[in-house]
Amino acid sequence: MYLPSDIIVKLLLSVIIGGVIGAEREYRSKSAGFRTLTMICMGATIFTILSQLIGIHSAPERIASNVVVGIGFVGAGVIFKSSGTNRVNGITTAAIIWVTAALGMGIGAGYELFSIVSCVLIMLVLFLFSRWEVLIENANQIRDYKIICKFEDETMKRFEELFTLHHLKYKNGRQTKYDNEITGEWLVRGSEKNHHNFISAIIKDPTVKGFEF
């Protein structure tokens, strides 16, 4: 069976592009890494090529369109909620799975240059935006604080005044009293430096019996 050279080029290009994006995810130890994203890109390319060959006389877009639906299930598998926190992880990796499949479809449809340029832009976003993300996170972090101390009147108000003193914005959470102890929970927003200063003050406070952050 004769295999056209343009199909071979498309398959090789899908392996390269999927491998480049996958290498970045592998470097960051993400759940979808080098082999996974390479296979996703190549698989999307193969399905798109087959949709053109099989559906040439009917609807060539039918097989390719289902790649978008199918890849959604793969992306959903890498999204999870961290235990004990309100953070959801894996969304970036799920988005990369989605866009890698799109690049594979572009290659399979014959838009090789478009896919290469898109891959370059994706790599720029992954490397440059990650640094900006760190700067933004340092300037504005959200943390859950849980403080346990001896119950006294105005006990929780004292800690809230300490939040304000360290330029932290807070939202009251659950308060629980058991015997002679009270537990307070807050959702606190502020810079990394202000969080660090507050934590240092709480750790040195002899009245605090328990502290989670």
Mean of the per-residue pLDDT values for the chain? 86
**Residue whose token pair is 């004292």:** 158
- CA distances to 12, 130, 137 from 141, in Å: 43, 15, 5
pLDDT value of position 137: 79
| Secondary structure (3-state) at 210 | strand
37-91 residue pLDDT tens? 999 999 999 999 888 887 666 666 666 677 777 887 787 777 776 655 556 777 8
- Name the residue among 139, 160, 148, 165 with its Cα closest to residue 209: 148
State the DSSP code for 64: H
Which strand (E) or helix (H) includes residue 128? helix 112-139
**The most confident of 26-35, 69-78, 159-168, by mean pLDDT:** 159-168
Cβ-count burial of 185 within 10 angstroms (0-12 exposed, 13-18 middle, 19+ buried)?
middle
107-156 residue pLDDT tens? 999 999 999 999 999 999 998 888 888 888 788 888 999 999 888 766 78
Distance CA 127, CA 123 (A): 6
Asked if 62 and 53 count as a contact pair (C-beta separation under 8 A), the reply is: no
Residues in Cβ contact with 162 at an 8 Å cutoff, skipping those fewer than 6 apart: 198, 201, 202
Amino acid at 84: G
**Residue whose token pair is 């939202």:** 171
